[in-house]
Structure 1
Amino acid sequence: MSATASGYAWLTDRFPGLMEAYCLTLVEGLTPRKLLDRLGARQESRVRGTAELLEPAYDAWEDHDGERSFVGVTAVGDWALAVEPNGYLGTLDEVIVPLSRGTRLVSHFRNVNAVDHFFWLDDGVLRLHFEPLFPAHRDGSDPDGLVQVMRQVGFDLSDDDADYTVHTEAAFALAEHLTGVRLTPQFLESATYVCGTAPVPGRQAAVRESPPAG
């Protein structure tokens, strides 16, 4: 079955805490430990189930004043999946460009203020970036290569009066199309995550910014 937004209609009901503010990053060919190493993360714990990532993620913002971000990583097929509740490492050029060297990376993000992003990189090259709320406006080296697929998974590419009701679900579906990784409630509830905190590039101790999710 082709990936579509309707296949992710369960997201808000099953994972309301995560869907308030999240960043998911998929990197092909890396183990969870290798991904954490590339992030410069300190491995600190293991947890089972995505819900168990929420409290330590929010605690990390307070403990580190936003200078380090909590991330949990698990294996799914040939990919490593990094989950950041209330995080945004997977949106930073300083992180995702080197992380994608020699491989493929797909990430998507949203926060409580409805700010969202989707990235697809191959070997350090940004192929596609857009905001799921505004999918008609895209950039990257191949901004139009997935237009038909974007429509099929559920994005409304109209400039005016677009339907935004399933834009987050459509982002999950587009990530599935690009990676072949289909996330299910059962997987997210049972996966074992290797967890750690990674430095946030450019974050200075003297500058006390608020976390992106409020």
Structure 2
Amino acid sequence: MNDWYDDEAVCVTYVRDLSPAEAFARMDVTIDPEAEPGCDPAIAVFRVEGGVILVEPNGFAGILDEVICRLSKGTVAASVFFNVNLDQNFVYAEDGVVTTQFEPDQPDARSGSDPDRLLEQMRTLDMETDSDLNKAAELAESVTGLTLPDDDAEPALIGTLPDYP
């Protein structure tokens, strides 16, 4: 698993079939090559085969309904989030609708328009009633078909997030 999940807090969002510029546009991110990844509210987008992966150290925008719905319009997106307070979240959206959402440490308490949409993949990963963050990241990769780049990969773009409530 990528070292990004070893940080104290991060939100990693996987979006199929978007370019880095389109992902940033859908999130209202201001491109800022001077922004430092890891410093709030910086965000980095990595081009991967089949789409993009957005990394927000100390961020949470990818789990917000308004953001993931915009990112997933016409495609699919999944976000994995955790912070220093042990808050965790997994969100999966298809074509602008959050279909499945749960806390990785409580995967049996799912919500969304189709809470059981990912149940088969969750069972394959043995995470139906007990899970962890690494399995949530594996689920995000499985349902989007995207793979995290190497730890030393350079982002395609770096930017600054708008203020989200």
Q: TM-score normalised to the size of structure 1? A: 0.70
- 1:1-214 residue pairs with structure 2 within 5 A? 8=1, 11=2, 14-15=3-4, 18-45=6-33, 53-54=37-38, 57=39, 60=40, 69-155=41-127, 157=129, 162=130, 167-183=132-148, 187-202=150-165
Q: TM-score normalised to the size of structure 2? A: 0.89
How far did residue 177 of structure 1 move? Answer: 0.9
Give unmatched runs, 5+ long, in structure 2: none
State the AA in 2 paired with 1:90: G
State the AA in 2 paired with 1:191: E
Q: Which has the higher helix share?
A: 1
What SS is found at the alignment partner of 1:189? coil
Matched residues in 2 for 1:35 and 1:15: separation? 20
Length, aligned pairs only: 165
What SS is found at the alignment partner of 1:87? coil
Q: Which has the larger radius of gyration?
A: 1
Matched residues in 2 for 1:110 and 1:33: separation? 25
Please tell me whether the aligned partners of residues 27 and 104 of structure 1 are also in contact (alpha carbons under 8 angstroms). yes
Please tell me whether the aligned partners of residues 46 and 193 of structure 1 are also in contact (alpha carbons under 8 angstroms). no
State, as a whole percentage, how many aligned pairs show the same letter: 35
1:103–1:197 Cα change, 3 Å:
same
State the AA in 2 paired with 1:189: D
Please tell me whether the aligned partners of residues 16 and 146 of structure 2 are also in contact (alpha carbons under 8 angstroms). no
How far did residue 118 of structure 1 move? Answer: 0.5
How far did residue 46 of structure 1 move? Answer: 7.3
- Alpha-carbon RMSD across the aligned residues, in angstroms, is 2.1
